[in-house]
Structure 1
Amino acid sequence: MKGRVETIRQCARTALPCILVLSTLAVSPSISAAPTTGSIPVGQSATQVLSTLTIGTKSNASSDRKSHHWNKVEGKTGNYTTRDLVLERDMNDVTFTSRGNVKSGILLEPYTGKTIHFQRGTSNKTEGGSASNRDGGIQIDHVVAYAEAYRSGLDKLDFQQRDAYYNDPDVLLASQAEANNVKKDGTIAEWEPSNQTFQCDYAILQIGIKAKYGLIVDKTEHDEMAEVLKTCPTETIISTSQVKQRLTSGASGSNSINDTTGGNGQDSQNGNAPNGENESDTTGKHHAANAKKNWVKTLFDGFLKRFF
């Protein structure tokens, strides 16, 4: 402020140069007035954060997802990209190639509750890899899908900010390729993890990401988030960097993760529940049925809009 006052005093002794300086001072605030994003509200009540999200109607705009790629990570040598960063963060027993890429590791997969033995460049179809892709059984999922985020307000940001979203570790999670391919760009009202013990964490992650980027939710999406939180009303917001620890410690959604052989939980691969269903099993089935119903409704509504 003192600097501006002194500049104005000096300008009083000049003519045209003074006008140019003052015009620069007047214009500079608007030049930097670009949209900004916050941070994941870790530790805050998930229910309260959900109440701060704006409920609205999303755009039908097609996203520019294909314009984005995994960026190289500063401070890392070789070809280490965002994909490698997330793989290293989310897996155990990680090894690397001579070029700096993640070569192998073991993932306790959150969406299915299964264990995936990742090997770079293999299809790994037996553990859920894509039949047509050598992804090692693992893809990097945008928890709030990029195209869905784009329709929810990401399109209002500039390209650099959208690229930051695409490469933001807070948004990304290592997941089974097959599960990610089924999810596509669906909202939580259209797709939820088959691993019932992770459904609460999944909702909480989505709420935190939407809060960080100021993204809207539609009413169906909001209501499903609220419904999921009824099963874990005291849970607080977590980030994707906390998922591995929660899965390992059995803290996910205030429950322990499914045993890969079925154990005491539901077998998420076959959908066979053990004898004596408890309340969380019933709630999980409700979420899955509700998501399927909303997906069918979305498909039908799109059909009506297209032909009528």
Structure 2
Amino acid sequence: MIKNLMRSATALCLALSPLTLPSTATAASTAPAAAQVLNLADAVDLVPVADESRTGYTRDKFKHWNTGLDPADGCNTRAEVLQAEAVESPAVAAGCKLSGGQWLSYYDSQKVNDPAKLDIDHMVPLAEAWDSGASAWDAKRREAYANDQDAATSLVAVTARSNRQKADQDPATWMPPHPDAQCRYIGEWTATKLRWGLAADQAEADALKVYAEACETTVVHYTPAA
């Protein structure tokens, strides 16, 4: 009898406490997205397939490079990525001028000792991102995409030559020239598409599936962007 009364009292208190559910819901909605780890084939299956359109695209709709992760250090996103990816750290002079150091451009397996000979490639190019979903974003989200240092796969330091050969192509028409780079590249391309909720057109989706079959041990890590 006493237990039944206690249950009734508890139920009444819950019914009369409207703040409980909203505060819980707010906490859930502001919680950071969970990191995802999938094999490549399963990750590729999660990329939605949709027609693409470049209508309205201009590169300046993606503000870059901005002041980077630490506005106080005087380095923009490009310089910060170069420092983060160096296999031998460069010297940093006033105005964030970099000199020396060494990098390995994984697209073509080239060692580079001059930061001026490197480009920072958007894993999924800005035009391709626009085509596959970013055209619907606001300017702030496009800037976040173009300067994304919160995922190691989003921006990559590579030789200017390989980056310019790639241009705005997807894996249906361009892949890194070094064979050992290709499974990694497909994994990072897929991770970036999933992180930002971008789609693939049919030719791209077909190419991803072909590479997924060949790269069966590749694992995709991504965290959905806020």
Letter in 2 for 1:2: P
Q: Which residue of 2 aligns with 1:80?
A: 75
Instruction: State the number of aligned residues.
Output: 193
Change (3 A) 1:101 1:3: farther
For 1:209-245, what per-residue CA distance to the aligned partner results, in whole angstroms no more than 9, with x for missing partners?
Answer: 1111111111111111111122221221147xxxxxx
Q: Which residue of 1 aligns with 2:106?
A: 110
Q: Which residue of 2 aligns with 1:148?
A: 128
Q: Which residue of 2 aligns with 1:137?
A: 117
Structure 2 CA distance for aligned equivalents of residues 193 and 96 of structure 1? 30
Structure 2 CA distance for aligned equivalents of residues 167 and 48 of structure 1? 27
Q: Shift of the alpha carbon at 1:104?
A: 2.9
Secondary structure of the structure 2 residue equivalent to 1:77 = helix
Question: Identity across aligned pairs (percent)?
Answer: 24
Q: Shift of the alpha carbon at 1:40?
A: 6.5
Change (3 A) 1:101 1:238: farther
What is the aligned counterpart of 2:53 among 40, 52, 59?
59
Secondary structure of the structure 2 residue equivalent to 1:92 = coil
Q: Looking at secondary structure, tell me which structure has more strand per residue.
A: 2
Change (3 A) 1:62 1:188: farther
Q: Which residue of 2 aligns with 1:289?
A: none
Residues 111-190 of structure 1 aligned to structure 2 (within 5 Å): 111-119=107-115, 136-169=116-149, 170=151, 171-190=154-173
Secondary structure of the structure 2 residue equivalent to 1:173 = strand
Change (3 A) 1:181 1:93: same
For 1:61-86, what per-residue CA distance to the aligned partner results, in whole angstroms no more than 9, with x for missing partners?
Answer: 24232241211134353421111111
Q: Shift of the alpha carbon at 1:38?
A: 5.7
| TM-score, with length taken from structure 1 | 0.58
Secondary structure of the structure 2 residue equivalent to 1:150 = helix
Q: Runs ≥4 in structure 1, deviation > 4 angstroms?
A: 37-40
Q: Shift of the alpha carbon at 1:91?
A: 1.1
Letter in 1 for 2:43: V
Change (3 A) 1:156 1:87: same
Structure 2 CA distance for aligned equivalents of residues 79 and 154 of structure 1? 29
Residues 1-40 of structure 1 aligned to structure 2 (within 5 Å): 2-3=18-19
Residues 85-100 of structure 1 aligned to structure 2 (within 5 Å): 85-94=80-89, 95-100=91-96
Q: Which residue of 2 aligns with 1:219?
A: 202
Contact 1:45 1:235 (8 Å CA) reproduced: yes
Letter in 2 for 1:55: V
Structure 2 CA distance for aligned equivalents of residues 204 and 143 of structure 1? 11
Structure 1 window deviating more from structure 2 (101-110 vs 220-229): it is 101-110
Letter in 2 for 1:223: D
Structure 2 CA distance for aligned equivalents of residues 194 and 47 of structure 1? 22
For 1:106-129, what per-residue CA distance to the aligned partner results, in whole angstroms no more than 9, with x for missing partners?
Answer: 11111101111124xxxxxxxxxx
Structure 2 CA distance for aligned equivalents of residues 221 and 39 of structure 1? 27
Contact 2:104 2:158 (8 Å CA) reproduced: no
| Greater RCO, 1 or 2 (C-alpha within 8 Å, sep 6+) | 2
Secondary structure of the structure 2 residue equivalent to 1:111 = coil
Q: Shift of the alpha carbon at 1:194?
A: 0.3
Change (3 A) 1:96 1:113: same
Structure 1 unaligned spans of 5+ = 5-28, 120-135, 240-308
Contact 2:81 2:157 (8 Å CA) reproduced: yes
Secondary structure of the structure 2 residue equivalent to 1:174 = strand
Structure 2 unaligned spans of 5+ = 1-16, 21-25
Structure 2 CA distance for aligned equivalents of residues 201 and 181 of structure 1? 19
